Amino acid sequence: MVQIIKGFHIFNRAALPAFLEGQPPSKEDLKLVWMIEEKQTDVNLALEICRDAIRGDSEQIVICSNDSDIEPALRFLNADAP
């Protein structure tokens, strides 16, 4: 079974330094941008994975993510329910 676990995003205004090639960031040249924050996805995913492993509900779990926040949960899971 394939299960897609989604979180949600929060959009807020933020002032961040402008990018200028070859120059370090400067607090003197700020631009308004949308700051997009992903919420609950990594926690929900980690809990679902741990629950499935503890219950023995899966033979294999494949995770596709570019978020390294899940790494500690995977290390614990690998040690406790390989």
Across the range 2-21, mean pLDDT stands at 87
Half-sphere exposure of 4 (CA within 13 A, CB side): 2
Q: Are the C-beta atoms of 13 and 35 separated by less than 8 Å? A: yes
Q: What is the pLDDT of residue 35?
A: 92
Q: What is the pLDDT of residue 56?
A: 86
Q: Are the C-beta atoms of 26 and 17 separated by less than 8 Å? A: yes
The domain segmentation of the chain, as residue ranges, is 8-17+29-80
Q: What is the pLDDT of residue 65?
A: 78
Q: What is the pLDDT of residue 13?
A: 96
Higher-confidence residue: 65 or 55?
55
Query: Per-residue pLDDT tens for 13-32?
Result: 999 999 999 999 999 999 99
Higher-confidence residue: 76 or 32?
32
Q: What is the pLDDT of residue 3?
A: 74
